[in-house]
Structure 1
Amino acid sequence: MAAQATFKSIKSLVPLLDRVLVQRFKPETKTATGIFLPSSVTNSPLNEGTVIATGPGAPTKEGKVVPCNVKAGDRVLLPSWGGNAIKVGEEEYYLFKDNEILAKIQE
């Protein structure tokens, strides 16, 4: 896993090019009926998250900028590997390249 960077505010972080800042959903620590789940179940990150911010897009060889496929607020399916972890206070975020995001989840 990549080294973690730490920032004071998520607003101070602006993704560049085709990078996407995502906050993964946290696994539930207890069931709806109040049963606490063991840490072996809750320590694995979920493969879903919310897009917090995106870069403007990556330029093609001709210089035309291709925008990211997702936008802030989108719910996305993430790979179980990759991404650069970023810590803001107690919250953890990840930077992915736009083409690493597997799907947009529509509700």
Structure 2
Amino acid sequence: MEIQPLDDRVLVRQVKPEERSAGGIYLPDVAQEKSAQAEVVALGTSEEAWPFQVGDRVIIDKYAGTEIRLGGETYTILQRQDVLAKVKA
């Protein structure tokens, strides 16, 4: 199944949070914070130019959007304004 966001919406897949802290300590699932990084999966149909493209990593508002599950994976549909920054490699 393929999802095409409409208008100024974007479909992202959250990047899994680190399982170890900077000091090397293992963090169980309950202690891991929801990641603010995501990978862009699809862009909406807006004719306005997008500042990011499919495959880019972005920083998103952690509490925005609508989560959906497809094929065992969780995706989030956000409005363009909920994407806060583009992560440069």
TM-score (norm 2): 0.83
Count of aligned positions: 89
In the alignment, which residue of structure 1 is the partner of 2:62?
80
Question: Larger C-alpha radius of gyration, 1 or 2?
Answer: 1
In the alignment, which residue of structure 2 is the partner of 1:46?
35
Q: Secondary structure at the match of 1:85?
A: strand
In the alignment, which residue of structure 2 is the partner of 1:4?
none
- Structure 1 residue 56 corresponds to structure 2 residue 45: yes
Aligned-residue Cα RMSD (Å) equals 2.2
In the alignment, which residue of structure 1 is the partner of 2:16?
26
How much does 1:89 deviate? 2.1
User: Can you list the C-alpha shifts for 1:40-67, whole angstroms capped at 9, x where unaligned?
Assistant: 222x32000100010131xxxxxxx323
In 1: Cα distance, 2:14 partner to 2:51 partner: 18
Q: Secondary structure at the match of 1:99?
A: helix
In 1: Cα distance, 2:45 partner to 2:50 partner: 7
In 2: Cα distance, 1:89 partner to 1:29 partner: 23
Unaligned segments of structure 2, at least 5 residues: none
Q: How is 1:3-14 mapped onto 2 (pairs within 5 angstroms)? A: 9=1, 12-14=2-4
In 1: Cα distance, 2:52 partner to 2:80 partner: 8
- Give identity over the alignment, percent: 33
Q: Secondary structure at the match of 1:102?
A: strand
Unaligned segments of structure 1, at least 5 residues: 1-8, 58-64
